[in-house]
Chains A and B, each alone.
Chain A
Amino acid sequence: MAKDLSPGDRVRVRDDYPAGHIRTPVYVRGKEGVVTRVFGDFKNPETLAIGRDGLPLKRLFEVRFRQVDLWPNYNGPETDTLDIDIYEHWLSKA
């Protein structure tokens, strides 16, 4: 859990596989990246999906990963990246 992240912070995505409506794709779970934007606070889609109010709000971050950190056999240059939107409860400082 990390609400107080800022651009430039290194983060690790929770390596967890709960059931339900999860917006954190499996391919980034357990991976390390860098926060690039803070989007603000949004209703939690995991609880909205089951008819609840989505509260408390969750902070949403854009996190940038190096492709070579996501895919062991990535077929492009090391400088290629992937940006993805991740909610605070999936992130911790790395």
Chain B
Amino acid sequence: MHEHGHHHHDHSHDHGHDHGHDHPHAAPHAPPAKDEKIHSYHQVLGLALKELLIEKGIVTADEIRKAIEFRDSITPALGASIVVRAWSDPAYKRRLLENGTEAVNEMGANMGDLKLVVVENTPEVHNVIVCTLCSCYPRAVLGLPPSWYKSREYRSRVVREPRTVLKEFGTAIPDKVEVRVHDSTADMRYLVLPMRPEGTQSMGRDALEKLVTRDCMVGVALPKA
């Protein structure tokens, strides 16, 4: 999915497939639940576009459903399995840093037309990811982005005061470590390869994967043993 240019893609899967407006039954309608969303202009536009695409036979409702189901099935566990393999397999780590797209596809991800760039945390550099233009996120390896990642506050502040934002996430980076922000403005998606924590040499793969959370791979947290 090309995320730029579809600024409302984050909403498109949240609605539309769970509202049956043509109720076959004659019973009086219950009042709408309090949390039922009123469709915004752009949501209506999205629904209209979807209906037209289906009517014209360009996509089927089932294909749209499958695509949503697939996207919802991706979780940060995939990213964690990639990180942990890189921690224990130097050849894989080299491939991951040289060509992230191929290396994650090899682990079962599907980057599609997008490219993945993996940026490595070291004792000298701490990386953190943002998309100031919209909310580009390495969805193919982490799934859907958290709401704070898409917030105007995170997007505007992490570029100009990253250390303050990181502290608010509970992550204090010493001044001698360079903080490097990555603003994803094009077709590249970024994934942070965190450092393997001290004292984890005897841990097995499953235990290690639990340490590598979503936030560690965005760069707002560090894995803790």
Contacts and interface: CB of A to CB of B under 8 A. Distances in A.
Same complex for A and B? Answer yes
Contacts of A82: 159, 180-183
Tell me the dominant secondary structure on chain B's binding face: mixed
Interface residues of B, number: 25
Contacts of B117: 37
Interface string B181-193: 1111111100000
Task: Enumerate the 5 nearest inter-chain pairs by beta-carbon distance, A residue then B residue, closest first.
Answer: A85-B186, A84-B183, A82-B181, A80-B179, A79-B178
29 contacts: A23-B185, A23-B186, A25-B132, A27-B132, A39-B187, A42-B187, A45-B5, A60-B188, A67-B179, A71-B160, A74-B160, A75-B161, A75-B164, A76-B161, A76-B162, A76-B163, A76-B179, A77-B178, A79-B178, A82-B159, A83-B182, A84-B182, A84-B183, A84-B185, A85-B183, A85-B184, A85-B185, A85-B187, A86-B185
Given A27-B159, A70-B159, A75-B163, 14 more contacts: A25-B183, A42-B186, A45-B4, A62-B188, A67-B160, A67-B179, A74-B161, A75-B161, A76-B179, A82-B180, A82-B183, A83-B180, A83-B183, A85-B187
